[in-house]
Chain A
């Protein structure tokens, strides 16, 4: 008798659980609403991160950018941003996104984040009554940033081109430094490198630890490269990894150092 009661209770529990699961999984499944950016799927997070960078390019508001990054809950290290810039470029996303990510990588690399207060999605408050049907409003004021950006219409010119023999370099590199007229590194400058059977694009600022105006490209021995800044003058041609010799007499492929500078506007 007791056993029958126990079995009945157990049957009830099983039916109850099954009923609960049928209700919660089939009849009325969970709908994700009111979620936070940190819960986004990885590909959406990458889109969001890229959007943060693009918005930063427009506003130059670093504090707000950091608050947005904190909301997203990603590390957003310069390395991570660099990787993302390259992958999005390879995926055919707009160049403006890669440029924005490079610029943000440069800024974050140059100025590590201070301790962050809990972020709020609407940090600034004041009253307003703007209607979406109003006529086009004036563009928002671009807030200043100390990170220089290329001045349209002032092409960079090759200032220096030197062969480099450094056995400590991880590979045979074309090292590029891009500076503004004041000698400050300029991030986000697109560089095109072309060789016999291929080409590649990369950006300054993706390795901010080496300078915001720095970029490099790994050469293969025996290949001749041409390099041009998209905002530059004529291309630099005939770049080949020349042979260097280390202290023990062993040969290794050398690198090139190219410095570009924007001319002063009179």
Chain B
């Protein structure tokens, strides 16, 4: 008759120990992550750097390859999202123009272009 409460008590205790272990004693450490998991502000900064490099290199394919590390969506989507964030976060005018230029050039490319990731 007392089997169920004992088992339930043990279950709850086990869960508590598991949570203590997972959240406090040895919490998750983020290592070996990919650019796709970057926080929104870091992601915007990453895209800004790609756009800045693009102003110097004028290599749209290289910019697309770099953007591809953010995920499988079309590269233009990442840049537009970054511009939206940058506007909200009040990035300076130069930064916005730099990203805008990349967005405009990406938009002028055919959407079906293949990206070779090295």
Contacts and interface: CB of A to CB of B under 8 A. Distances in A.
Contacts of B52: 54-55, 58-59, 140
A51 B49 contact: yes
Given A13-B13, A121-B45, A128 B90 contact: yes
Contacts of B96: 128, 130
Contacts of B19: 20
A44 B31 contact: no
Contacts of B26: none
Contact of A15 (B10, B86, B91): B10
Interface in A117-136: 121-122, 124-136
B34 A41 contact: yes
A244 B107 CA distance: 62
Q: For chain A, which range describes its interface: under 10, 10 to 19, 20 to 34, or 35 or more residues? A: 35 or more
A124 B14 contact: no
A28 interface: no
Given A15-B14, A16-B14, A35-B37, A130 B9 contact: no
A40 B99 CA distance: 23
Interface in A29-78: 30-37, 39-42, 44, 47-48, 51-52, 54-55, 57-59, 68, 71
A78 to B, nearest CB: 20
Contacts of B54: 58
Contacts of B14: 12-20
A94 B59 contact: yes
Nearest to B54: A58
A112 to B, nearest CB: 23
A134 B22 CA distance: 48
A131 B104 CA distance: 10
Q: For chain B, which range describes its interface: under 10, 10 to 19, 20 to 34, or 35 or more residues? A: 35 or more
Given A44-B34, A48-B35, A58-B52, A140 B80 contact: no
Contacts of B9: 9, 12
A129 to B, nearest CB: 7
B95 to A, nearest CB: 7
Contacts of B11: 12-13, 15-16, 19
A21 interface: yes
B44 A140 contact: no
A13 B20 CA distance: 13
B10 A11 contact: yes
Nearest to A37: B42
B38 interface: yes
B42 A121 contact: yes
Interface in B65-104: 66, 69, 79-80, 83, 86-87, 89-101, 103-104
A138 interface: yes
B57 A96 contact: yes
Interface in B1-35: 2-3, 6-15, 17-19, 22, 28, 30-35
A24 B19 CA distance: 10
A124 B95 contact: yes
A261 B86 CA distance: 43
Given A51-B66, A52-B49, A124-B95, A34 B39 contact: yes
18 contacts: A5-B6, A8-B7, A9-B10, A12-B8, A16-B12, A17-B18, A32-B30, A32-B33, A36-B38, A39-B33, A96-B56, A128-B86, A128-B87, A128-B93, A133-B107, A137-B101, A140-B55, A140-B94
Of all A-B residue pairs in the complex, the 8 with the closest CB atoms, nearest first, are A12-B10, A16-B14, A54-B53, A20-B18, A58-B56, A13-B14, A137-B97, A132-B103
